[in-house]
Structure 1
Amino acid sequence: MTGLRPSGGFRAGRRPRGDRGVSILEFTGFLPILLLIGMAAIQLGLIGYGVNQAGSGARAAARAASQQGGPPAGVAAGQAAVSGWLDPQVSPEKGAETTTATVVVHVPGVIPLFGGYDVTRRATMPTDD
């Protein structure tokens, strides 16, 4: 009985020497995929943030333009409601019944091979005249 210990249990067998370092090679091969998934998650988060900011800017611009301030006040309110690094483009249009504001923001690309994305949101408010 060569496998028994004095305590009665079996000894663990020796590990073969041929598989040393395999786990680091597997990790190194899988690392680019993990980085790509992480960057895609960050990109989706940025796009969601851009959609949220564009919607907030469009509502603020439509609200300000529909009141007595007119389109110049709408542009200022829309740009103030959006983070500056998103480069908001605000264009309110005041009509007789409703005022519609359109905000376009540019979300930068995180993944090197893809460019940025433009996100557009519109909001309509009743005109207060």
Structure 2
Amino acid sequence: MRGVRGLLERVRRRSRNDRGVSLLEFAGFLPILLVVGMAGIQLGLIGYGASQAGTAARAAARAESLEPGTGAAAGQAAASGWLNAAVSPGGGGGDTTTASVTVTVPSVIPLFDDVTLTRDVTMPNDDDQ
């Protein structure tokens, strides 16, 4: 019996000494976890910005092809305001109209610069012109 009690005592002592180890391990891993999470958010914002730039360019090109002079306003209205969209409803040659939209996606991770995305879309002109 004495051997079993001694063994149980040693196990209890050892488990008491391991008391804050898991908290310490988590505290060491937390910064890495935060950076990975912020990088995921940044990638999501870049994807959203690319989608918004494409949508704004399509709207600008379509509006410009239907009624010249309206492409810039349509492109600005189609993009989210916080992306600071720069719409260039350039002309086109003959049967098409091309619009270009540049958006700036702000950086979530402090050490990285903002990301600039540009999308170009060409639409056929309306036949009634």
**What residue in structure 2 maps to residue 26 of structure 1?**
25
Work out whether residues 94 and 127 of structure 1, in 8 Å CA contact, stay in contact via their aligned partners in 2.
no
**What residue in structure 1 maps to residue 56 of structure 2?**
57
**What residue in structure 2 maps to residue 7 of structure 1?**
none
Work out whether residues 89 and 105 of structure 1, in 8 Å CA contact, stay in contact via their aligned partners in 2.
yes
| Between structures 1 and 2, the one with greater helix share | 2
Distance between the aligned counterparts of 1:35 and 1:118, measured in 2? 24
Residues paired across the two proteins, number: 121
Distance between the aligned counterparts of 1:42 and 1:93, measured in 2? 33
**What residue in structure 2 maps to residue 74 of structure 1?**
71
Question: 2:74 aligned with 1:83, yes or no?
Answer: no
Aligned ranges for residues 1-129 of structure 1 at < 5 Å? 1=1, 3=4, 13-16=11-14, 17-67=16-66, 69-70=67-68, 72-95=69-92, 96-128=94-126, 129=129
- Say what the alpha-carbon RMSD is for the aligned residues: 1.7
Structure 1, gaps ≥5 residues long? 5-10
Matched letter for residue 103 of structure 1: V
Distance between the aligned counterparts of 2:106 and 2:91, measured in 1? 31
Distance between the aligned counterparts of 1:47 and 1:32, measured in 2? 23
CA drift at 1:108: 0.1
Distance between the aligned counterparts of 1:36 and 1:94, measured in 2? 44
Matched letter for residue 71 of structure 2: G
Which of 31-40 and 17-26 deviates more? 17-26
Identity of aligned residues (%): 63
Q: Secondary structure in 2 aligned to 1:109?
A: coil
Q: Secondary structure in 1 aligned to 2:107?
A: coil
CA drift at 1:94: 2.0
Q: Return the TM-score normalized by structure 1.
A: 0.87
Structure 2, gaps ≥5 residues long? none
